[in-house]
């Protein structure tokens, strides 16, 4: 096989991705014949790829047999809608917590086995934290992530864990050993685990008794590490207030 010739597997992925793109971009469901013609593929090849995409729930057939985006796209849209609702409801609570602490305030939700940060209020200090929204961080090194692990919103990993600093946990067993203490305290903290000199403190946000998010602050260890208990209690109080706000808010896709 030459460098210019794609492997069979790569070629199949490219063809499947092209079919998905054509269906998703279409205004209406598309027939298999139309897809085959548009993509320049044999009908048998198109049929085989469509069947695989249907099994993966990426595409689905309507009552007439034409192809439309599958259930996974609906699931993603619902979850994104839920993120938006939670972030909007959290706004006043996050701003209030930011005013009290002066630190960066973050809201994280469990997604795809990790924590995704969906909203942030920036620090009042010149020396604050970075913009974490949309940033992929190791959940076991994050106070937000530890909260979600502690309350069952994320599955606890097993085996070895990679960490960006020497203070980070290195095994699923070490993480699991901290979770009962987090539940007793009502908050989680990380000191220098994600970045040297960075401390995070977070508490659970509940909807109908289930933890659906974590509210937290982050900032320099020099400002936060000596007062973890008091600051953790403050963050937990605001997280409880956010939980109450969520209960009173219409929950269109915010489960």
Residue 22, pLDDT score:
94
Crossing angle for the helix pair 43-55 and 32-39, to the nearest 10 degrees: 120
Residue 2, pLDDT score:
45
Residue 255, pLDDT score:
40
Residue 94's nearest CA partner among 126, 127, 132 is 132
Which domains are delineated in the chain? 8-69 (1.10.10.10), 76-247 (3.30.450.40)
The DSSP code for 147 is: H
Residue 5, pLDDT score:
47
133, 171 Cβ separation under 8 angstroms: no
Residue 129, pLDDT score:
57
219, 199 Cβ separation under 8 angstroms: yes
The model's pLDDT over 39-80, given as tens digits with 9 standing for 90+, comes to 999 999 999 999 999 999 899 998 889 999 988 877 666 556
- Which residue do the tokens 């289930």 mark? 210
Residue 7, pLDDT score:
57
Low-confidence ranges of the chain (pLDDT < 50): 1-5, 252-255
């Amino acid at each position: 096989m030459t460098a210019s010739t794609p492997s069979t597997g790569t070629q199949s992925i490219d063809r499947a991705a092209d079919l998905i793109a054509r269906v998703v971009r279409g205004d209406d469901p598309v027939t298999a014949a139309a897809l085959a013609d548009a993509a320049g593929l044999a009908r048998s090849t198109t049929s085989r790829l469509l069947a695989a995409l249907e099994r993966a729930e990426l595409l689905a057939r309507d009552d007439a047999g034409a192809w439309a985006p599958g259930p996974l796209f609906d699931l993603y849209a619902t979850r994104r809608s839920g993120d938006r609702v939670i972030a909007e409801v959290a706004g006043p609570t996050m701003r209030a917590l930011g005013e009290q602490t002066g630190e960066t305030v973050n809201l994280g939700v469990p997604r795809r086995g990790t924590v995704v940060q969906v909203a942030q209020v920036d620090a009042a200090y010149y020396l604050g934290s970075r913009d974490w929204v949309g940033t992929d961080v190791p959940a076991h090194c994050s106070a937000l992530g530890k909260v979600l692990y502690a309350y069952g919103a994320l599955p606890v990993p097993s085996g070895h864990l990679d960490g960006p600093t020497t203070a980070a946990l290195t095994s699923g067993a070490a993480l699991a050993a901290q979770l009962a203490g987090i539940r007793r305290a009502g908050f989680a903290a990380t000191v220098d685990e994600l970045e040297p000199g960075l401390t995070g403190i977070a508490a659970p946000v509940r909807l109908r008794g289930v933890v659906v998010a974590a509210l937290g602050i982050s900032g320099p260890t020099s400002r936060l590490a000596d007062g973890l208990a008091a600051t953790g209690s403050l963050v937990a109080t605001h997280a409880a207030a956010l939980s109450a706000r969520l209960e009173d808010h219409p929950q269109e896709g915010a489960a």
